[in-house]
Amino acid sequence: MNFKMGQLINIAEIKALYPNEWVLLGNPIMDDSKIDVLSGIPLFHSKDKKEVCYIGRDKTSNFDKITLIYTGTFRPTRKITGIFSDYNGLLGLDFFEGTKFCIDTRENTIDCH
């Protein structure tokens, strides 16, 4: 792959060129749902999102649309562990380590502790 900044390239090539980085794209082409980026013109990239936002801002003036993508995968910041039931009429979710969200179907209450 031999690409230059300022050239329209597809998302697979962007991910291969800039793995695990934030990439500012000019004139992105989106899928029909307008959620996923299919291609775009890389304007600036970095592992630091703030750097892309601040330095890349000056590179966007000639473009009608811009978007910022991350080419890696996000790691969850908190672990969701599952559903538990202490006794009849109580349903709870242990959403975050050490925090329980409980719904008491007998008392019609919701508690988080």
Residue 53 in 3-state DSSP?
helix
Residue 51 in 3-state DSSP?
helix
Residue whose structure tokens are 């109580």? 90
pTM score: 0.63
Q: What pLDDT score was predicted for residue 34?
A: 81
Q: What pLDDT score was predicted for residue 28?
A: 93
Q: Name every residue whose Cβ is closer than 8 Å to that of residue 17 and which is 6 or more positions away in sequence.
A: 1, 3, 9, 42
